[in-house]
Amino acid sequence: MYNIVMEQPITIIISHLLFIVITFWALQAINYEKFLRKNRVIQARLLFAILSIVIGYTLSNFFLEYLDASKQLVNYLG
């Protein structure tokens, strides 16, 4: 995985962080107060952060694998 992209690990780190931040921002649109129990704010925030990390990491992996596959395809065809 990440054969060509792995040459620059900073690309992977930046991609993961960027997609986690984007996911955190996008999840702000959800009105999750309806699903919270009273006095469980800290647990809800932790769950929100964990969801952002999981979804952002998954999106980042998809992006990096797509980038790697497109570079391999160009090398294969060219």
8 Å CB contact between 11 and 68:
no
| CA 4 to chain centroid | 20
Identify which has the larger pLDDT, 1 or 40.
40
pLDDT in tens, 8-30: 788 899 999 999 999 999 999 98
Distances in whole angstroms, Cα of residue 42 to Cα of each of 5, 27, 31, 34, 47: 37, 17, 16, 15, 9
**For residue 76, pLDDT beyond 80:** no
The more confident residue out of 53 and 69 is 53
